[in-house]
Chain A
Amino acid sequence: MSAKALERLEQRFAECVLETHDFRGDETAVVDRAAIVDVASWLRDEPDLAFNMLTDMTAVDWLLEGREPRFEVVYQLYSVEQRHRLRIKVQVPEEDPVVDTLTRLYGIADWLEREIWDMYGIRFKGHPNLKRILLYEEFVGHPLRKDYPKEKRQPLVRRPENEIADVLARRGKARPLPQPPPRSAR
């Protein structure tokens, strides 16, 4: 991690850096959501910072802690030349879960942003192909949100529930057919 990079960022974007900390040596800056593309491109292109790798990108849901705004999108940046790291976070409110995309800066942002959309339902403005990546298109909801129950099941292949009864009926041992649950139950 790099204290120098954090200092430079605070000087350059004084009005956009909302908060900083360096817990356990991980320099972190919370920046204004509207400025994320400017901040990321500056960090990438500044020669002595050269954060040319978006190592990881994820989101955190603070619903249970009751924190406002509810979501945080977290970027882990790394510079292969300078060998230093920086963590950038933006805060995202529940009612308007949109962040500008970084796909024009980093190739990997494409899939990482799709995963965040899939898991948290945060949209990325300007993303060329924002669709689910780990789950299937028919899935309802975003499972890493804290209000999504862990035990909830959504089988994609819904078998007709009356197979066994059919067999019995053919053998003259008819039983009332169990009704499949209504589709809205998903």
Chain B
Amino acid sequence: MMETPKDQESLDLTTMHMGPSHPAMHGTIHIKVQLAGERIENAEVNIGYLHRGFEKEAEAHCWQQIFPYTDRLNYVSPMLNNVGYAMAVEKLCGVTVPERAQYIRVIVGEIARIADHLTYMAAQTMEMGAFTPYFYVMKGRDWLWDLLEEVSGARLTHSYVRIGGVAWDLSEGFKEKTIEILPRIDQVVVELDKLMTRNRIFLDRMQDIAVISAEEAISYGWTGPCLRGSGVDYDVRKAHPYLVYDRMDFEIPIGTDGDNMDRYMVRMEEMRQSMRIIRQALDQIEPGPVMIEDRLVVIPQKAATYNTIEDMINHFKLVIDGIRPPRGEVYSYTEAGNGELGFYLVSDGTGRPVKCRVRPPCFMGMAALKQLIEGHMVADVIPTFDTINMIGGECDR
């Protein structure tokens, strides 16, 4: 029989590698932990396995050609990235998009936010060993993707938003379909809530695990649901309203303890708030144009391109030379699924950016992960890592 050591000092630390080939590490994270028994004494978090050189690629492309790359940043809510990037270039160019386009951006953005949070819920529960909720939740996400597919033509990589508006108007019957699907999504959330939120096993692994105070979270640059879990009511949609969020009636849920459970509960409530926003936006939206009329920014309609020489030249100049924003630099920020998605753009007046920097919200979460898991059990790494909702495409760019 093995003797139990008298004190922790006498135990040698065991080094263990989690990831990058680990089912819960999404293939893109490597955590090297040093264990005393099962307790983590020291952790090292390594990222970068999904680095694709987004910024380098962006510098070689026209401003409007960067949209497909933004789809692949946070690939569980590409629509929100599209909106964030479009708003940054619009700020740089100083253009305002038509009201209907703003409403459409809010609607598709909030649909994407629910899909983002549902994906988080699915990953959180599945990686903790609960497979049933995963399928319940993914079913709901598929319905949402059906909606986005109907709008944009693609389920995942939408590239639907354009500089100056959106590519085309909502499809016929979109409003009715959305109104029909929302109660079903609500039902999915209720089911998930019933399955997980008061589940003893779930609570034991979530409550009081990986606590972070508001000051520390701010120091780590946390934003979004993770920061709100620590009790800070910072949401870009409320603090600095953009698009038409100031006309919407919704609430910002905040946590109290800053533990795993709070980060989970904040997202749970945010899905319900997003559904409120979608319903209001669908009620308020009025017919109108979905693109600005500016030959320097917007590519002409196909019929005009093929039939008039002016529009042909216009099209050619925009495709080859690109939009030419004035010289200058802007930092534009929107609330994406994981928090403040910022774009810092520098223009030298040509058709290609000098600098196109993304501020990835989950990068900040990953930076604090070391501090969160140290002192906890090795099994706590999984739920803690999940609550940060690291999305490889965004974190590594």
Contact = CB atoms under 8 A, between A and B. Distances in A.
Contacts of A107: 216, 219-221, 367-368, 371
A52 B53 contact: no
A108 B367 contact: yes
Contact of B48 (A60, A106, A134, A144): A134
Interface stretch (B76-84, B115-123, B247-255, B327-335): B327-335
B185 interface: no
Nearest to A114: B367
Contacts of B92: 24
Contact of B55 (A53, A74, A144): A144
A128 B369 CA distance: 17
B57 to A, nearest CB: 7
Interface in A32-53: 52-53
Interface string B30-52: 00000000000000000110010
> Is chain B's interface secondary structure helix, strand, loop, or mixed overall?
mixed
A134 B47 contact: yes
A76 B331 contact: yes
A62 B347 CA distance: 11
Contacts of B59: 150
B240 interface: yes
A135 B331 CA distance: 25
Interface string A125-158: 0000000111110000001100010100000000
Nearest to B48: A134
B56 A52 contact: no
B61 to A, nearest CB: 10
Contacts of A135: 48, 51
A108 B331 contact: no
B201 interface: no
Given A58-B355, A150-B57, A53 B329 contact: no
Contacts of A60: 346, 354-355
Interface in B338-397: 340, 342, 344, 346, 348, 354-355, 357, 359, 363-364, 366-368, 371, 396-397
- Give the interface residue-count category, chain B: 35 or more
B94 interface: yes
Contact of A23 (B329, B354, B366): B329
Nearest to B234: A80
A107 B372 CA distance: 13
B218, B330, B359, most chain A CB atoms within 10 A? B218
Contact of A52 (B47, B219, B223, B333): B219
B219 A56 contact: no
A133 B367 CA distance: 11
A26 interface: yes
13 contacts: A55-B359, A56-B344, A56-B359, A58-B355, A60-B354, A60-B355, A74-B344, A76-B342, A80-B234, A87-B329, A107-B368, A134-B396, A143-B56
List the 6 closest A-B pairs by CB distance, nearest first.
Answer: A108-B221, A134-B48, A56-B359, A111-B367, A107-B219, A107-B220
